[in-house]
Structure 1
Amino acid sequence: MKCYELQGPSGIDGLALVDKPVPTPGDGEVLVRLKAATLNYRDLITVKGGYGSRQKFPLVPVSDGAGIVERVGPGVREFAAGDRVIGSFFEGWIGGEPSEAKMRSALGGSVDGVLSEYRLFPKHALVRTPEHLSDIEAAALPCAGLTAWSAVTKLGGVRPGQTVLTQGTGGVSLFAIQFAKMCGARVIATSSSDAKIERLKKLGADFTLNYRTTPDWGKKAREWSIHGVDLVVEVGGVGTLNESIRAVRIGGTIAFIGVLAGPPPPDLRLPLMVMQQQRLQGVTVGSVEDLQAMVDAITVNGMKPVIDRTFRFDQVRDAFAHMESGAHFGKVAIEIG
């Protein structure tokens, strides 16, 4: 089988296409013929060696994949050849509260990922693909989809009539818009592109802000929502945290996910967060049970992920470069089959 492998922190150009034998499933294992993968910003950091000494090499990168069961090992009755499946981001986090042990097996980080024609999965780490989704659409769910689901529904507890603010047009942010609307919430969405803002409106955003032309977007969002927003899906990180704090209502929540916006400002408004009793909630994907709950909701609502562009398996470097450019709207996908 062919797969991409990182031998070291040498960047996008260091991705090597190598040949390996197709593995044989053992007890409780499922061999999946991968059909599609999608990229997350975390994958780009990994390829560039951004995790330093914690990074495993050699490594098959990328966490999010979907495919078809090729063979099952002894003791597997939950799946059969031909079943369409999605792999969970954390193979060892089946359910319950997170722990160091449960979060140790992160695909494309501490263990090999899905940028491969075949991969073995433990049977407990697989979820059936919703019938209305293609393999490419399904491959968008394990990290970006589940992170947004956890931020909005599981940890954010968004209810009808509440207001959610999202940042940018990456996978997590667009999923967050879709899940917020599914919950009956209003959405404020930001972007630096007026063209992308028009697409955000079509996706369901009720109020939009260009954060380049409106640098005090947090203040504007608070004014529009009257008392402040209930939840900010914070993908920018400390670089955008000040405006997120300004946007959130007293007692509201900032779901802290990303690191896209660079270093913190010198006048970080943490005292305001304290005075307004806001909650800063870290979000790191979710469990297999969470993935199943999200898939069930997507199936009932007929929701479809937003796919920006699909690259062939021999265009993996181009896919990473496209994501790095920031030009994408939604998920950057790779067709493996």
Structure 2
Amino acid sequence: MTTRIFIDGDAGTTGLEIRERLAGRTDIEIVALPPEKRKDPGAKRDILAGIDIAILCLPDDAAKETVALCDALGDRSPRLLDASTAHRVAPGWVYGFPELCAGQAAAIGQAARVANVGCYATSSIALLRPLVDAGLIQPHQALTINAVSGYSGGGRQMIEAYEQGAAPAFELYGLTLEHKHLPEIMAYSKLSARPLFVPSVGNFRQGMLVSIPLALDALPGQPTAADFEAAYRRHYEGAAHVRLMPAPANGRLDALALNGTDDMELFVFANDAYRHALLVARQDNLGKGASGAAVQNLDLMIGV
């Protein structure tokens, strides 16, 4: 059976990547809105009424407008997969991180509305949730999350600067400490204390490293790196796209190593003498952090 899909916002980075990943599939029919009618609510409403799933690759306000159109359709509304940040912690939406916990993939598969993950959030939650569930990190723990992404994850202005050759070699941003991914990081990592989140971009198109430094003696039970690794192995056993990797002997990680894949790698670096550890997640921010995750969620929604 063919599933009819509409990508609302298919001219943007995420939408283009999703379309590319779906190209050639015979189980999916992509329905397009003519360019001249992209701002015509009536034309969009007609498209929405005749499809199975709409994938929203839009700014938050525009995504909310499309959801309102679907609400007005009642029983004729398609299922929704929203790649914006508008509904990631909203009631009635299932969070689109299949590896979050037992039963999450099944919940996505049955959901009428799925909020696709954020790139920084995916890595942060992947590192923290298993440790919180295992009692190795307490929800009220004071945490710092450092992250670097390629410019494709930094928004339209940063992308344009990179493409024009005007981007700096490295740039910190979000220094108001109000990054939009923090609510979902807290909600799905089960944190009660707001972490200090420091995002940055490097002068490359895509790729991402997220790292969380820890003083082991400040944690309950004074865990070891081996305890963290055991928790990750249990949590991600059988996962197709998230895996624990041995820490490289040279103590270095290339942010671009997973580009072009939909995978995520987790690492635990430790110095036993100082009782320090560093948790690191690596992914392609356009893969597992955006479009790749959307296609993974879409496949669950259509039963692939």
Q: Structure 1 length normalisation: TM-score? A: 0.28
Q: Structure 2 length normalisation: TM-score? A: 0.31
